[in-house]
Structure 1
Amino acid sequence: MTDNHSGHRINFRSRLGFGASGLGTLYRDVTEAQAAEVLDQAYEAGMRYFDSAPLYGHGLSELRLGRFLRTIDRGTVTVSTKVGRYMVPPFGERVEYGLWASPLRLKPVFDYSYAGTMRSLEQSANRLGIADFDLIYIHDVDRFTHGDAYERRFNEAIEGCYRALDDLRKAGHIKAIGVGVNESDVATRFIKACSLNAVMMAGRYTLLDRGAEADLLPEAERRGVEIVVAGVFNSGILAAGPASAAATFDYGAPPAEVVARAKAIEQICNRHGVPLQAAAIQFPFRNPFVSAAVLGMSQPERIAENLAWSHQVIPEELWREVDDLFRPSLPKAS
C-alpha cells in the first residue's frame, strides 16, 4: 500500500464538467466545426473541467479536445482522461465500432499493465497536446465490460495501472488518480485496495438509480475520496423523458420498473413546476462529497440548456418526495 493521497483536493475549476464522449460521435456524427463550436461555447459559458478517454471515438474525442486546448490558456482548465485501452491500426482485422457513429478507424486494445498504461498515456498526450495531466481514471474495470475476465482484469489494474499512475503521481507528472466505472461495488473495492483521489461513478448515483448510496458513498466519505458523477441522465431516459420512444437506460431499452420509477419522479417534478432534467443535474450535488458532475454534450444549444437547468430553483419538498420513493431501498441510518 502506498502513501495515502486522498487528502489532496482536486481543483475541478467548475462543478459542471464537459464530458467529451459526444465529440467522439457517440450515437450520432459530429462535424469538426460542430465539435469546435460546442467546446468554445462550453468554455465561454464558464465550464472549466473537460473529461475524455481514448475509447471515445477511438481517439477522435481526445484529438478534438486537444485542438481546442491549444487555443486557450491551459492553466484555466482541468483536464482528465483515462487508461486501460490504447489504439492500434487494425491491419485488415474487422473492428466493432459499437455506439460510435463515425470514429477513427482504429482498434482499441485492453491493457491494464504497467507498460500498457504508459503507452495509453503517451498516446493521449499526443492527441491532447499536453504534457501534464490533472486527473487520470482507470477505465471500465467492471463485470459489464469484462464478464468472466473481471477478476483477472481487476488484479491487473491494481498491479499495473495503479502502480504506474502512482509512480507518475509521486514524480509530479499527474496530480490525481481515479477510477471510472458504472458498478458502485467495483469502485468501492478499488478505493479500499489503493490510494485514490477520485471516483467517476457513472449512472449509479442519479435521480433514478441510487445504488452507490449503499456502498461507495459511505466508503468514499471515510477515505476522503472525491466523487465525480457521470451519466446523470442514465444514458437518456431522464433527458428524453420516460414516455419517449427514444428513451434508453444504461445504453439499452429501459426495464419496466425503471420506466415506472422515472414516471413517478417526473410526476413529482411536474407538480413542483421543475423540469425533470433540472432535477437530474442537481440531484448529485445534494451529497457534499460530489465535487463535479460531467455532462456529455455534442450540440451547441445543449450548453445553455444544461446550465439553465443547473441553476433552476428546486424546492426541498421535491427532494423529500423523491426520497420517499426510494425509502424502502435506502440504507438505514447507523
Structure 2
Amino acid sequence: MIQLPPLGMGCAAIGNLYRFVDDQLADETVAAALANGISYFDVAPHYGFGLAEERLGRALARHDPTQHAIVSTKVGRLLTSTDSDAVERHGFVGAPPLEPVFDYTHDGVLRSHEASLARLGRDWIDILFAHDLGTATHGEQAAQHLRDFLDGGYPALRRLRDEGAVGEIGIGVNEIAVCQDLLDRVELDVVLLAGRYTLLEQDEAAPLLERCERLGTRIVIGGPYNSGILVEGSARAAASHFNYAPPPPEVIARVARLEQVCDTYGVPLAAAALQFPKRAPAVASVIPGLVGPDQVRATMCLAARAIPDTLWDDCHLALQSQPNLETAP
C-alpha cells in the first residue's frame, strides 16, 4: 500500500488552468512544494493537454532525481491534434494545439498510460486513476463510457497494476454516484473525489466516506476550495469560481455564513477549508491546486493553523438553514 501524505499538490494550475503560467513559474512551484515537504503530485493528460504532465516531469527530474515523490495521473482521455486557435479551451489558456478525446477502452487506457509515461519522463506511475466518469461530465454518453471502462478500461488498469507498471488504481471524479456505482462492481485502491466533500458541501459524501472506510479504499480529496470560492470568499466571489464556473448566489450566501463563523474564531476561511476533509478517517490526502512558491508557503501556513474543534460544529450548523447544494462540476 502506498503511504499517501496528508497534503499533496494538484497540478492543473501548472497546466495553465484559467491563466497563463510560464515554464519557470511551474518549475519553481514544484521545487517549492518539495522543499516544503509536499511529496505527492496529482496530474492528468487533460491539464493543459499534456502541458502539466510535461512540466511536472521536467521539474521532478531536476528537483527529485531519486524519484522519491509520489505521482498520480489519469486515463480516459487521449490527446489528438486540433487546428483551433482559441486562446482558452476547456478552461486552459495558451495550451498546445491538442484536443482531449474520451476513450475508456482497454486500448485507450494502455495508450494513455504510455503517453503519460513519456510526458512525465518516468517508467512507473504510483497511482493511475480513470478520469471523469459519470453523468455530469458525459450526460447521455455516460452509460456507454462506463461500459467501455468496465469491459475494457478497468481490466487494463488491473493488468497494469498486476504487471507492476503502476502501484495502485482507482478513479478520479467529481461525482459521488459514480463512485458508489463502481464500488458495487469493481475493486478500487483509491478514489480521488474532487469538490464533493468540502467545508461548503459536508453531508452528501458521508455514505461514501463510511463505505470506503469499511472497504479500506482510501480517498484523496481534490478541490478543497471548490475551485476557488473558499479562498476568495464572498466579497471576491465575482472573480472566483465554484465547480469551474461563476458561483451562483446561493453558494455565495453559504460562503458568507462560513466566513462569519471563521471570523468569530479568528481562523482564515481557507485554513478551515483545507483542513476540513482530513477529519474523515477514510481521507488519506488533500490536494489543493497550487501555482507559485508564495502559494505553496501560504498553503503550508494554512495547513498548520490551529483550529478549535467547536468551529467545525458551528460551520455545520451555519449551513443547515440553507438546503444542500445541487452540485455538478
Do the structures match in fold with TM over 0.5?
yes
Once the two structures are TM-superposed, the CA of residue 259 in structure 1 deviates from its matched residue by 1.3
Q: CA deviation at 1:178?
A: 1.1
Distance in 2 of aligned mates of 1:325 and 1:194: 38
Query: Is contact 1:11–1:78 with CA below 8 Å preserved after alignment?
Result: no
Match of 1:119 among 111, 129, 134: 111
Q: Secondary structure at the match of 1:179?
A: strand
Within the candidate set 190, 196, 203, 1:198 is matched to 190
Comparing 131-140 and 316-325, the one that deviates more: 316-325
Matched-pair contact (CA < 8 Å) for 2:202–2:316:
no
Q: Cα distance, 1:93 vs. partner?
A: 6.2
Match of 1:109 in 2: 101
Tell me if structure 2 keeps the 8 A contact 1:201–1:227: yes
Within 5 A, what are the aligned runs for 1:111-260? 111-244=103-236, 245-260=238-253
Q: Residue 19 of structure 1 aligns with which residue?
A: 10
Task: Report what 1:302 is aligned to.
Answer: 295
CA distance in 2, matches of 1:57, 1:301: 22
SS of the counterpart of 2:93? Answer: coil
Taking the aligned partners of 1:229 and 1:83, their CA distance within structure 2 comes to 18
- CA distance in 2: counterparts of 1:304 and 1:282, whole angstroms: 15
Is contact 2:193–2:219 with CA below 8 Å preserved after alignment?
yes
Separation in structure 2 between the aligned mates of residue 99 and residue 302 of structure 1, nearest angstrom = 20
Q: C-alpha distance in 2, partners of 1:18/1:135?
A: 14
| Distance in structure 2 (CA, Å) of the matches to 1:323 and 1:117 | 40
Following superposition, the deviation at residue 220 of structure 1 comes to: 1.1
Q: Structure 1 CA distance, aligned partners of 2:312 and 2:2? A: 28
SS state at 1:86 partner: strand
- 1:89 shift after superposition: 1.9
Is residue 104–residue 149 contact of structure 2 (8 Å, CA) maintained in 1? yes
Identity %: 40
Aligned length: 320
1:320 maps to 313
What is the identity, as a one-letter code, of the residue corresponding to 1:201?
Answer: L
Task: For 2:60 and 2:244, locate their aligned partners in 1 and report how far apart those are by CA, in whole Å.
Answer: 29
RMSD: 1.7
1:288 to 277, 281, 285: 281
Asked if structure 2 preserves the Cα contact closer than 8 Å seen for 1:204 and 1:211, the reply is: no
Deviation string, structure 1 residues 255-313 (Cα, Å, up to 9, x no partner) = 22221111111100000000000000000011111000011111221000011000000
Q: 1:86 aligned to 2:78?
A: yes
CA contact (8 A) 2:257 2:319 kept: no
8 Å CA contact retained: 1:180, 1:202? yes
Whether 1:62 aligns to 2:62 is no
Look up the match of 1:264. 257
Equivalents in 2 of 1:279, 1:301: separation in Å?
19
- Give per-residue Cα distances to partners, 1:83-111, cap 9 Å, x unaligned: 00111222x46777121011111121110
Distance in 1, matches of 2:19 and 2:320, equals 38
SS of aligned partner of 2:172: strand
Q: Which runs of 5+ in 2 are unaligned?
A: 325-329
Structure 1 window deviating more from structure 2 (224-233 vs 243-252): it is 243-252
Q: Which amino acid aligns with 2:72?
A: S
Paired with 1:106 and 1:308, the residues of 2 have a C-alpha distance of 37
Change in CA separation of 1:93 and 1:269 when aligned onto 2, cut-off 3 Å? closer
Distance 1:280 1:60 in 2: 28
Contact 1:54 1:85 in 2 (8 A): yes
C-alpha distance in 1, partners of 2:44/2:213? Answer: 26
Task: Tell me, in whole angstroms, the C-alpha distance in 2 between the residues paired with 1:288 and 1:123.
Answer: 34
Distance 2:43 2:188 in 1: 19
Runs (5+) with no aligned partner, structure 1 = 1-8
Query: How many Å separate the matches in 2 of 1:251 and 1:93?
Result: 22
Say if 2:21 is the partner of 1:30.
yes
Normalization by structure 2: what TM-score? 0.93
Q: What CA distance in whole angstroms lies between the structure 2 residues aligned with 1:10 and 1:194?
A: 20
TM-score, with length taken from structure 1: 0.92
Deviation at 1:75, TM superposition (A): 3.7
Deviation at 1:327, TM superposition (A): 5.3
Which amino acid letter does the alignment assign opposite residue 146 of structure 1? H
Report if the CA contact (8 A) 2:261-2:315 is conserved: yes
